[in-house]
Amino acid sequence: MELNWYDEMEARIPKGEVRTRFAPSPTGYMHVGNLRTALYTWLIARHNGGKFILRIEDTDQSRLVEGAVDVIYRTLKDCGLDHDEGPDVGGPVGPYIQTERRGLYGKYAELLIEKGHAYRCFCEKCEDEGEAFEKKVDPCRSLSAEESAKAVSEGKPYVVRQRIPEDGVTVFRDEIFGEISVENKTLDDQVLIKRDGLPTYNFANVVDDHLMGITHVVRGSEYLSSSPKYNLLYEGFGWDIPKYVHCSPVMRDQHNKMSKRHGDPSYEDLIAQGYITPAVVNYVALLGWSPGGEREIYSMPEMAEIFDIHGLSKSPAIFDIEKLRYFNAEYIRRMSAEEFAAVAEPYIRSAVKNPDIDAGAVAALLQQRTEVLSEIPEKLDFFDALPEYGTELFVHKKSKSDTESSLYVLEKMLPVFEALPVWDDESILGAMVSLAESEGVKNAKVMWPVRIAAAGKAVTPGGAVEICRILGRDETLRRMRIAVEKLK
């Protein structure tokens, strides 16, 4: 076997830095657990001044979804998870798409066969290439090199299986779960190369992680059971074993993992439901990671500075939509007025079509009253058209308003509003306060009927002053006259 090629591959591997990778399969959407894996992987790299690598694992062609790679790129970009190497930016150890690396895996499988840690399996049982069966009863395990080569020359189809030791124990260390021992007799001779020549996930990710110099492998705890076999592959090749970081699952409740099949939201679903990306990312970071202390709101740079894998929990994390809602509301309140207006405008315009209504002015009313952006349209329907309403809305015990007092106030306010030289908050407020003073009543007794007349709703974002100002003088007066007619 010509070893120079392998030596050249080894020489390409970057050394002396932390290197992490996010390696999704392009299956159509980014679920919350996958986003969390990407985030933790990015945080480890950034905390240690290392490199974050994107690799697309597309060897399972049956699961590919058109456009899914674009979803991965878009989600990472939106979430601020910039990658240093990947299919779109290149790097020293490309290609970064597994099917484009197809020629590598067969060569490494041959090297592993040469080293005695893998074998070709010609059994009919291999029709189900993922099927495990007892090592000791697999006749291909005991084929000599000559017998195996002869079968290949005769054109017999085969898979390549890992040769697991029949006895002994494999010990590996995980950064969260500690040291774990597994008896080799419990491990099956897994398939490494399928009949079509493509590698299985279990083989490709080990080869790629080594050739890309990956120092920390972050993945779900469901892969803990496969880690002994990964370890044996690393040892079979004589390669350094990366640090394993197995994250406990994200659960819908105490008993069920989150699942798209069961209607649990993906990242894109959450954004479509009106959650904003920084809030989602912050909340997802805390699903299984504790920074310590009472603080919960962190920027990405702050998380990168303090992130420690030893703060990750062994226990499953429960995804609580109400907790995410709290995070979302906090982030909205902390936005600048300009930032909020930008994210809120599409929701405002879905309800307020009238171009004369200033979306920025409406946004200013909403910012402190909004938890989820998708709630915005239902609060604003009255701006475009005065809704049908009954005169009972003018009755309000706290402001001491009733239909009779409301009619009196509106008839008094109409000529005052008509005569105002300037239509702004200060003038509108001053006019209503002056009437209240002259009548010897509290301000609310004037403002309640004006707001009901302007909006036709008991609950509104903003008070009488802001609503009148945004509607404009002419529309406000028109609506007040309608209210007067109702009350008469």
- How far apart CA 331 and CA 329 sit, in angstroms, is 5
Q: Letter for the amino acid at 469? A: R
- How far apart CA 455 and CA 476 sit, in angstroms, is 9
**Cβ contacts of residue 184 below 8 Å, gap of 6+?**
164, 165, 166, 167, 168, 169, 170, 228
Query: Is 260 an annotated catalytic residue?
Result: yes
**Cβ contacts of residue 341 below 8 Å, gap of 6+?**
359, 360, 363, 364
Query: Is 78 in contact with 38 (CB distance < 8 Å)?
Result: no
Tell how strand 178-183 and strand 118-121 pair up.
Answer: unpaired
Query: Is 341 in contact with 309 (CB distance < 8 Å)?
Result: no
Whose tokens are 């591959």? That residue is 9
- How far apart CA 425 and CA 450 sit, in angstroms, is 14
Q: At what angle do helices 403-419 and 425-439 cross, to 10 degrees?
A: 130
Query: Is 250 in contact with 32 (CB distance < 8 Å)?
Result: yes
- What does the DSSP assignment read for 287-327? SSB--SSS-----HHHHHHH--GGGB-SSPEE--HHHHHHH
- List, in sequence order, every beta strand (DSSP E) within 113-269: 118-121, 159-162, 169-174, 178-183, 191-193, 216-220, 243-247, 250-251
- How far apart CA 77 and CA 404 sit, in angstroms, is 59
Bridge partners for 56 per DSSP = 97
- How far apart CA 204 and CA 197 sit, in angstroms, is 12
Closest CA to 268 of 256, 257, 280, 259: 280
Query: Is 210 in contact with 13 (CB distance < 8 Å)?
Result: yes
Q: What is the DSSP letter of 56?
A: B
> Which of the following is catalytic: 185, 260, 323, 457?
260
Tell me what percent of the chain is helix, strand and coil, each rounded to the nearest 5: 55, 10, 35
> Catalytic residue numbers?
260
